Structure 1
Amino acid sequence: MISGLEHLVPATIILVIVAGFCAGWVDAVVGGGGLIQLPALLLVPGISPVQALATNKMGSIFGTTTSAVTYSRRVHPDLKTALPMAGVALAGSFCGAIVATSLPAAVFKPVIIAALAAVAIFTALHPTAGTLTRLRYTGVRHFGAAAGIGLVIGFYDGLIGPGTGSFLVIAMVGLLGYSFLAASAKAKIVNLATNLGALLFFLPHGAVLWGLGLVLGAANMAGGYLGARTAISKGSRFVRIVFLMVVAVLILKLGYDVLQENLSGS
């Protein structure tokens, strides 16, 4: 038995494995796997929210690394854009994790719901958006816009997290002009950096449950590999459909959270 899992019943370990695999698949296709993985971790007996968040980041790194490598080998994303964007996103995520210790996530949730709804409406009303790569900017303006996206979404990932991959995809499609498939390939590289940035903050605080994180990471890797292969074979149209589904679930989940918080506070 892996250290740290001795107190867990087999059903709980199976739940974590299944959740990690499904989350890895969703994350590789369009992002948003944290919607599956983080709630599953919160069901583990004795785990604190901070431990769940930190362990979720550790597991996600395995999946995003696997899907990033798979995309890089087959789609060949523009690393001149992706790598600087990832570097800025890592710094933003680290800062977001620091702020997360002092600001309640509930403050931002209504704003996020509104942003997601706008993203869903835009994507649904523009069926040709993201089918082909038509870059909106060139040169310094392109790299500046990419860095801005990386910084803002990286900060968001460290602060709250849900839907980071989806936000990265739609920002690269809507603001930069990439296709959904090309955006997903770059999003994995940037998302890997945001996960690492948050994890660098959590590690010194001893919040990561290593045994659980390694099991979760293995499942996430398998899901990430299969998800990346599926997205590559199905193309941008498939990624767009999955994207709309994930965004819809994100809106419902965050909306439910806000409703519950309002009811409990009244």
Structure 2
Amino acid sequence: MDIALHLLVFLFLAAFVAGFVDSIAGGGGMITVPAMLLAGIPPLETLGTNKLQSLFGSGSASLAYGRAGHVNLKEQMPMALISAAGAAVGAVATTFVPGDILRLALPFLLIAVAFYFALKPNVGELDRERRLSVAAFSASIVPLIGFYDGIFGPGTGSFFMLAFISLAGFGILKATAHTKLLNFGSNFGGFLVFVLFGVVHWQLGVAMGIGQFLGAQVGSRFAMKNGARIIKPLLVITCVGLAIRLLMDPTNPLRLWLGW
């Protein structure tokens, strides 16, 4: 389908903002997915195209954090491949796993994550004691969150950050930096499945991807300059905002059950 110029500009700007937010706290899909639906992109094509443009944002942020020395991209690559594999399995599983269960539980999980970061006073820049070995973390947490990203998606970055901070003992900036490459992996795994199903709008995805790339460059530099004082509140705001958006969705199972 052809995209009118004014809609293309609108979606480019939405992707830039999403890239900025996602590079700091995750949740960029909260901006890009509704924007594409508003522009008239079919739902399944929206999901496939969102994976393509998200690759630019997560890849851009990964490069920025890697160049600054906050993450060793080469050492983290095996973990990113595991994340990609988990997401690919999750994307395939969307054909037979009831999504209503995830849609019902996710807002409350996101609110719990927001409370964790808002009320835990020692979430800062310094690393703490690791609770889970690298091997155990890679074999359990990474594929599980990757699977979730492939099957549903919203809040993936927030869940990776929570895992890195609470189980790997990372400081908040280090957790943010390590999250981006794993998010790139999960985006790539899901993207491959959507390509096989032929539901990716390539021109729009690349155009929005450029916006994502630029936004992520600005956002990652902003995060590295300000550290926990900006990452922590933005993460809380993003989680709460995403939870509210999911609860306000007219098709949310909870709303249908309550008759709202």
TM-score (norm 2): 0.92
Which residue number corresponds to residue 161 of structure 1? 153
Change (3 A) 1:82 1:258: farther
Q: CA deviation at 1:137?
A: 3.8
Q: Distance in 1 between matches of 2:82 and 2:128?
A: 24
Are 1:152 and 2:152 an aligned pair?
Answer: no
Which residue identity is paired with 1:42?
L
Q: Distance in 1 between matches of 2:77 and 2:255?
A: 43
C-alpha contact (below 8 Å) 1:84/1:147 kept by paired residues: no
Change (3 A) 1:118 1:66: same
Which residue identity is paired with 1:222?
L
Range with greater deviation from structure 2 (113-122 or 177-186): 113-122
Which residue number corresponds to residue 169 of structure 2? 177
Which residue number corresponds to residue 112 of structure 1? 106
Q: CA deviation at 1:263?
A: 4.7
Length, aligned pairs only: 258
Which residue identity is paired with 1:13?
L
Q: Distance in 2 between matches of 1:44 and 1:114?
A: 29
Please point out which of 214, 228, 233 is paired with 2:206: 214
For 1:90-129, list aligned pairs within 5 A: 90-129=84-123
C-alpha contact (below 8 Å) 1:64/1:189 kept by paired residues: yes
Quote the sequence identity (%). 35
Structure 1: give runs of 5+ residues left out of the alignment.
none
Please point out which of 54, 77, 86 is paired with 1:83: 77
TM-score (norm 1): 0.90
Which residue identity is paired with 2:13?
V
Q: Distance in 2 between matches of 1:94 and 1:130?
A: 33
C-alpha contact (below 8 Å) 2:104/2:254 kept by paired residues: no
Which residue number corresponds to residue 31 of structure 2? 36
Root-mean-square deviation (Å): 1.9
Spell out, residue by residue over 1:169-212, the C-alpha distance to the aligned partner (whole angstroms, 9 max, x if none).
Answer: 11111121111100111111000000000011111221111111
Secondary structure of the residue aligned to 2:200 is: coil
Q: Distance in 1 between matches of 2:138 and 2:230?
A: 24
Which residue number corresponds to residue 235 of structure 2? 243
Which residue identity is paired with 2:210?
A
Which residue identity is paired with 1:169?
M
Secondary structure of the residue aligned to 2:44 is: helix
Q: CA deviation at 1:71?
A: 0.4
